Structures are given as structure tokens and as C-alpha cells.
Amino acid sequence: MSDSDARLLAQDTSVATQGSWPLTLRGLLRQGPLPAPEDSVERALHLMRNYGVEALPVTLDGHLMGMVSRESLLRYVRERGLDDEARWASVSDFLQPAEETVAPETPLETLRERWRNRLDRSLPALPVVDKEGYCLGYLHPLDLFFPEPMLRPQLPPIGGMATPFGVYLTDGRIQAGASNIALIATGAFMGLLIFGSLWLSGWGLERLAVWIPFVPHWVFDMNAALQDAHPWWSACAVCVRSVVILPYLLLMRFSVLAGYHAAEHQTVHAIERREPLVVPVVRRMPRVHPRCGTNLVAAMGIFAFVAELASCFPWLQEGAIVIAGLVTLFTWRRVGAFLQLWFTTRPASEHQLEKGIRAGNELIERYLQSYPTRPHILRKIWCMGLLQALIGMGIIAFIVSYIPFLSAFLR
């Protein structure tokens, strides 16, 4: 094991021995699926068996409606017999008021004292409810008597972004790793890649127009309109112009962002699998992630390309949107994974993995230090990082548009 691996392993395990993170409900909060009023008795009993509790909160659109106990469900099933009617009865018929709820800011020591002499009773799940009555999750009473919260808790779905200076991670409320300035720099960097790829594509298409004289010149002109009188040449023009993405993908592949992008995905995989955040483990994680924005870009690109291609032919124009939608539906994930593997990520260096691990540990630490809350929609949008990246792209677009030399250069 290298010195850096040992250092990161010590950092990962020091939490359990030093207790450096303040104790809040975050480390113990369970956020598994909860029964809804319309669920069946069978589903509620199945959840209680999996969670090992005697009662569970029942929620409607996230808001606490009451509690359902295993005792009342089993009594009903025992009285009615194990027939389908009993198993399929609605949970709403067995709702009881919650005798006890937990506020998100309640100290753990307060809960421990409250439950210290009550362990001989049945153990319901303790719903954690905010001031609006929204159930943020629940606690298992036995979890209160562990000395520390779980070292690697189950976080909400994690988003992130690669920047030229490191990895940015977020759970939709907490930001960790690279700063907002780094996210703006990422947008500016991607803007430069876009303008660079546009220039390279234009330059290459001009050369092709000279080298292939038998093809109409407008086929290679990215600003020329498609001609209905020549559907096949129009289709060729759509295919030719789509190569504008190739220089961008190649520039991305060999940029510093690709390595940090891989480190971001691998760190997120490790957190989601609750693996230790150390280089040997994180390095083995996949570089492809199903929630990557590359998949969304691939879907939009496939849809636009197929729709425009189909619209070149009069007999396909009416169904162009449907054709594009079907093709996108069956291909976008595979194309997105292909683009991630070969273009938007590349094997991360040890330094880049360490930056990703540092961001992951920071996210977990801030998560455990915070109280359970629902993030405001504006906060979630800001934490996505897209607004910051768009600001960076806008700065580059402004510079290019208002400097005559650069505008003429790109034309």
C-alpha cells in the first residue's frame, strides 16, 4: 500500500476512534420506502420484517399520516385467516396516531435518555418529522445506543461535476469539494472547448468541400438551409454537420476534465456502495455512471439528429418526432455509456482520485454534521452546478461575440 493510500485509510477510519464529527440524527436516519395509506397489509408486514420494527410510519406524499403496527395487522390476519382478502386489505384501515415523533434538531443524547428504560417494550420506528409534518425518515431505537453514527451512511442520490481544479459533489443541499468559482471555470473551459470544436469543424468542412467537388457545396456549409428538392443530399448534410461533436469529444477526452470526471463517478459509486473511500477501492469502481449528464446530452443529440434526418424525406416528415422518440428511447443509455467510457472520462490519476476522495469525505462529514431537512427547490437548482457552469459559458460567449478578431476567426 502506498503512503497516500495509508494516509487516506487513516483518514477514513479516524472518525470511529476520534469522534471528530458532531452527532446529529443524520448518521442514524433511515430513508427506506415507507407504507402509504393505499398499500396492502402484505406490503406493510413485508417492510416491517425487513426493517425489524414493530410499527412503521405511514406517509402520503411524504407527509406523516399515522402509524401502523404489526400487532394490529397480525391480529386482523389471524382473525380473518390467511386469505387473499386479508392480505390485500388497505393499510388505511389500521392507521393509528403517532404516539411519538422526533424533531430533526433533537440531540441524540436526549433520545437516548428518553429510550434508555423502554427497551423492554415493542420497538416502533421513530418518525423524524419537520414543522410542516413532512416525514424525513425514521430512526430505529436500537441505533440510538451505538457510540457513533454509521461511518458511511446511506446518502440521498449524489450529483457532481468535474472541474479543472478537482471534483465537486452534492446531495442536493450540501456542497463539497470544488468551489462555485471552480464550477464557473468549468463552464468557461467547456465554452472554450465548444468554440474550439466549432472552429475545427468549420475548417475541416471547408477542406472537404474543396477535396470532394462532386458534392454540392451547401452540404458542407453549416449555416446553409436544407433543400426539400434534394432529400438525399439534405440527409448527407445532416450527417456531415453532426461531425461537429467529434472535435469536442476528442478535446474533452484529452483534457484534465476527463480524469476528474472519472474520479467523480468512481467516488460516487464508492459512496453509494458504502465502500471505504481509499484509492485502491475507488480506483476499481466503474467510470460509467447512469445519472451522468452525458446520458442526457446523448438523448438530446440522438433525438435532434434522427428528427432532422427523418424530416429530410417527405414521406417521413409527419412521423419524424415519433421516429426520433423511439430511436432515442432504445439507444440513449447505451450511447451515453459509450460516450462516458471513451470520451468524457479517462482513467484518473492517483492525484485526481485523491481529490475525488477528499470531496467525498467532505460531503459525508457535512452530511453528518447537518440536521435532516428538505432542501428548497432553489437550493437544489443551485447545488446542481449547472447555473454556475452556464455563467462561465456565458462569459466566454460574451468575450467571443464582442471581440471582432475572435468573431471573425470563428466565422
Q: Is 66 left (phi over 0), alpha (psi -120 to 50) or beta?
A: left
Rounded distance between C-alpha atoms, residue 191 and residue 267, angstroms? 26
Q: What is the pLDDT of residue 2?
A: 46
Poorest-pLDDT segment among 45-59, 101-115, 272-286: 101-115
pLDDT at 364: 92
pLDDT at residue 171 in the model: 94
Residue 40, beta-bridge partner list: 90
Strand partners, 55: 69, 124
Q: How far apart are CA 287 and CA 274, in angstroms?
A: 17
What are the grid coordinates assigned to 46, written together? 413485508
Quickly state the pLDDT bin for 408 (edges 50, 70, 90).
low
pLDDT confidence bin for 199, thresholds 50/70/90: confident
Q: No. of H helices and E strands in the chain?
A: 16, 7
Concatenating the DSSP letter of every residue in 287-339 gives S--TT-HHHHHHHHHHHHHHHHHHHTSGGGSTTHHHHHHHHHHHHHHHHHHHH
Residue pair 310/324 in contact (Cβ under 8 Å)? The answer is: yes
Mean model confidence pLDDT for the chain: 87
Integer Cα distance of 402 and 409 in angstroms = 12
Lowest-pLDDT choice from 20-24, 65-69, 118-122, 178-182: 20-24
348: pLDDT strictly greater than 70: yes
The answer to whether 183 and 392 have CB atoms below 8 angstroms apart is yes
Residue 16: per-residue pLDDT = 36
Q: Nine-digit cell at 92?
A: 388505511
How confident is the model over 308-321, as a mean pLDDT? Answer: 92
The 10s digit of each residue's pLDDT in 381-403 is 999 999 999 999 999 988 888 77
Q: How sure is the predictor about 268, in pLDDT bands with cuts at 50, 70 and 90?
A: very high
274 or 388: whose pLDDT is higher?
388
**What does the chain come to in residues?**
411
Domains defined for the chain, CATH in brackets: 24-145 (3.10.580.10), 159-287+345-410 (no CATH)
So what's the pLDDT on residue 358? 97
Position 350 scores a pLDDT of 97
Q: Is the pLDDT of residue 84 over 80?
A: no
Give Cα separations from 192 to 201, 245, 252, 348, 396 (angstroms): 14, 14, 11, 22, 7
3-class DSSP assignment, residue 83: coil
pLDDT computed for residue 289 by the predictor: 97
Answer yes or no: are the C-beta atoms of 267 and 167 closer than 8 Å: yes
202 close to 243: Cβ distance less than 8 angstroms: no
**Residue owning grid cell 420506502:** 33
Record the pTM.
Answer: 0.83
